[in-house]
Structure 1
Amino acid sequence: MGKNRYVFWGLVITTLISALDANIMQTASPTIVKQLGGMELFAWIFVVYMLASTVTVPLYGKLSDMYGRKKLLMISVGLFTLGSILCGIANSMEMLIVFRGIQGLGAGGMVPLSMIIVGDLFTIEKRGKIQAVFSTIWAISSIVGPVLGSFFVEALTWRWIFFINIPIGIATVFCLIPYQEKAEFKKTHIDYKGFFLFGFSITLLLLSTNVSHGFWYILIGIIGMIAFLLVERKETEPFLPVSLFKNRGILMTNLFMLFYCLSFFGTSNFIPLFLQEGKDMSIYKSGLILLSIALGWLFGSTPAGGWIIRFGYKILFIIGSFITTISGVALYLFIQDISYIGLFLILTIQGVAFGLLFAVGTIASQEFAESHIKGMSTSLQIFLRNIGTSIGVTIMGLLINHAVNISIGMKNVFLYALCLSLITIVLSFLIPAKTDELRKSQS
């Protein structure tokens, strides 16, 4: 592995700070609001971060195809670290919200660029194992994050949830310095007009899920997206290359992952809440249930690269979507009376499907794409996953809030997810079995 070992650890640390930030903030935010005041602005601590980190994902992918992954990842980590320092010294909610936006601008590049570098450096077989490591980091962070958040708030001060990112960010940059990129990057015109229209429209559509009078945000967002599509048709170097959508493998894989994240992927956000309110379970025990998904994810994603070589993409997408739907039926039927162990087992099985499909989806987005748009293709899929999960979780939250009780609410959530999972089954049959490179290597 040589120098790649340092790069690999740099990517691991990048993933770690992204994952920890999301989970620590949930625990520490009530204390922050008490000290800074401005309870009416509470949601914006999360909203502005989510918007900045989601909208910039495709831009990072586009720029990485032009200037290289290393520079862009170092810039994104630098922005995230700068945002963390500023958040740590903020003395009002307004300042904290602005600085969280800067943090989000950096975070938008950290995960997708890490995935793109993995695609550049490692073989298909190794990529499944590496993604299993990244997924495990996210899963462990969901357990460790709240504990760390509580420790910083009680033993030190909430400001340390941001200051802890400083040494981690510096360590990441040092690990990336030895990385020598072999790919050639083609500098082209950047369609800033297209990016502005795209970013403006997506921001409004995402904001519609967090504000009152969301209808107008949706309407203007849709008009903006139509304007974006009309502008892109006339551009010689569009922000979203047309070749991405003419490529059947990329198109069907991205559609599949969008609907997959709209359906069952977001349900795990509400299971600890259901166990706490519906089953009177402790916060610790209800949070521990998410280890089941992490465990399953590990078994699903680790062998994914080898399975792609052996079976191709299509069969794995079909198997993964059927496992998700069948485990989803079990959750829908038995959620009200199921034991803790039973729920743990079903979620482990569903975790296997999550791990398999996320690993295969990422690899497919890279292998179906030509080398000069590989970064854009990978970041587009991550962007669509984020959009799908954000919208899906919002819809699920509405279903729970409007239900008579949490148990009925969870049944409604699983019914919604089941309906959409049927679409993913149909889409899985439309994904090509192999990329051209895979065909050549097996012929």
Structure 2
Amino acid sequence: MKKNKYVFWGLVITTLISALDANIMQTASPTIVKQLGGMELFAWIFVVYMLASTVTVPLYGKLSDMYGRKKLLMFAVGLFTLGSILCGMANSMVTLIIFRGIQGLGAGGMIPLSMVIVGDLFTIERRGKIQAVFSSIWAISSIVGPILGSFFVEALSWRWIFFINIPIGIASVLCLLPYKEQMEFKKTHIDYKGFFLFGVSITLLLLSTNIQNSIWYIILGIIGIIVFVLVERKETHPFLPVSLFKNKGILMTNLFMLVYCLSFFGTSNFIPLFLQEGNQMSIYKSGLILLSIAVGWTFGSTPAGKWILRFGYKLLFIIGSLITTLSGLALYLFISDISYFGLFIILTIQGVSFGLLFAVGTIASQEFAEPQIKGMSTSLQMFLKNIGTSIGVTVMGLIINQAANIVIGMKYVFLYALCLSLITIVLSFLIPAKTTAFSESE
């Protein structure tokens, strides 16, 4: 049990690195552009990281089922730390973008593998509480990250936003060293052809969300996915195991989480912008509104494990999607003249449903899966969440840009999310209440 504590802290530190990196860049990026130049390449600092960290998630899941989680997570943290060192030493925008890609290749395994290890080590009941801790880290980092970024830029150098990852990465690896995995991992054939087709297709589709005149990227990406499916049908050991899609629990849970992330989950990205432009609110105060979601998330995810054992999965998915839809309806109806306090309350309620459904979704992806594909199942859901959020945020951005003003734009965004959230309610009724093992244990 003592070793598990060290492992737990290693996973916490790993999550901390990821969370800080996601938030610390926001305030430092303008200074980086001033010093390195290459303003026309500015967006690629973020795009290349997003592409590398998203596309590699399923591969890490597949490899973790074959070679174990510990070695792979240590490799991912090591690669991320190496990328951080190189980013800190970059002397041009081009080299920084390349090194951010290396960082992203490591980041792709850090969060999903941490979640898989949590699933291996801890009971369903404890997993909800642990995910609440991880969620709190993201919430705190969303506030501390930009402040820390400002400090490094003003007091030291922007390069320290990357160098700070070195001691954190080393601490993470040291905490993971005592971990001894109990499972036996079976080495099988790796379908690199399938991964290549899958990776290229998803990269093209993700690029289409960040590039103007992107129709050809969408067409080529869809063609790539079709070719991938046709090739995988003939593959003896496909990159995405067929058992993942024959399992109703995994299939419906993943489909639910994909649509869910396409809907209201991405709206929080635009709330601060709405408050700044629509209400002339300060950057600091508009950013603090997101604490509401973090607070609600903690209340929703902490008891999720207990509630799964008591009520099963289906009921929790139904309740979570209903809370999201009703709170989303309130946002749509009242966003034009809502008070700061009123907005805080509604977002807190919505945060409860976010926390509940993300915790239940992650646990379901592990418990519905057979032990030999648990890593793949967990990482696939995380991958679909990332895809859903990326596409959802892009669509919302287009809606806002086409609107006459930010207030009207937000109403249309909430209407779009509301329509999709109705689909999640339907999908929630199709999710099994319990896993087979869960039912047999009663």
Give the shorter-chain TM-score range.
Answer: over 0.9
Match of 1:55 in 2: 55
Q: What's the counterpart of residue 204 of structure 1?
A: 204
- Equivalent positions of 1:163-202 (< 5 A) are 163-202=163-202
Instruction: Quote how far apart the aligned CAs of 1:212 are.
Output: 2.1
* Counterpart for residue 342 of structure 1: 342
Matches within 5 A, 1:407-418: 407-418=407-418
Once the two structures are TM-superposed, the CA of residue 213 in structure 1 deviates from its matched residue by: 2.2
The AA in structure 2 aligned to 1:311 is: F
Name the SS for the 2:336 alignment partner.
coil
* Distance in 2 (alpha carbons) for counterparts of 1:395 and 1:304: 31
Partner of 1:144: 144
- C-alpha deviations, 1:251-299, integer Å up to 9, x for none? 0000000000000000000001111111111111111001100000000
**Separation in structure 2 between the aligned mates of residue 145 and residue 412 of structure 1, nearest angstrom:** 31
Whole-Å Cα distance in 2 between the matches of residues 75 and 173 of structure 1?
Answer: 9
Q: d(CA) in 2 for partners of 1:148 and 1:331?
A: 32
**2:434 maps to 1:430:** no
Secondary structure, counterpart of 2:327 in structure 1:
helix
Report the Cα distance in structure 2 between the residues aligned to 1:116 and 1:167, rounded to whole angstroms: 24
How far residue 437 of structure 1 moved from its aligned partner, in angstroms, is: 1.2
Structure 2 CA distance for aligned equivalents of residues 360 and 18 of structure 1: 22
Paired-residue identity, %: 86
Q: Which residue of 2 aligns with 1:354?
A: 354
State the Cα distance separating 1:211 from its structure 2 match: 1.1
Q: Which residue of 2 aligns with 1:265?
A: 265
Structure 2: distance between partners of 1:211 and 1:75? 32
Shift of 1:216: 0.3
Cα RMSD (Å): 0.5
Report 1:284-299 matches (<5 A): 284-299=284-299
> 2:386 is matched with which residue?
386
Per-residue deviation, residues 26-48 of structure 1 (Å, max 9, x unmatched): 11111101110000000000000
- Aligned partners of 1:168, 1:381: CA distance in 2, in Å? 27
CA distance in 1, matches of 2:377, 2:331: 34
Post-superposition Cα deviations, 1:78-121, rounded to whole Å, max 9, x if no partner, equal: 00000000000000000000000000000000000000000000
Structure 2 unmatched ranges of 5 or more: none
Spell out, residue by residue over 1:316-372, the C-alpha distance to the aligned partner (whole angstroms, 9 max, x if none): 000000000000000001111111110000000000000000000000000000000
Counterpart CA distance in 1 for 2:10 and 2:283 is 32
CA shift for structure 1 position 440: 1.3
Query: Which amino acid in structure 2 is aligned with residue 427 of structure 1?
Result: L
- The alpha-carbon deviation at position 402 of structure 1 amounts to 1.0
Report the counterpart of residue 253 of structure 2 in structure 1.
253
Q: CA deviation at 1:145?
A: 0.9
* Residue number in structure 2 paired with 1:41: 41
Residue in structure 2 matched with residue 315 of structure 1 by the alignment: 315
Amino acid at match of 2:392: G
Equivalent pairs counted in the alignment come to 442
Question: Quick one: which amino acid aligns to residue 429 of structure 2?
Answer: F
2:32 aligns with 32
> What's 1:326 paired with?
326
Cα offsets for 1:119-158 (capped at 9, x unmatched): 0000000000000000111111111111111111111110
Could you list the runs of 4 or more consecutive aligned residues of structure 1 that deviate by over 2 angstroms after TM superposition?
none
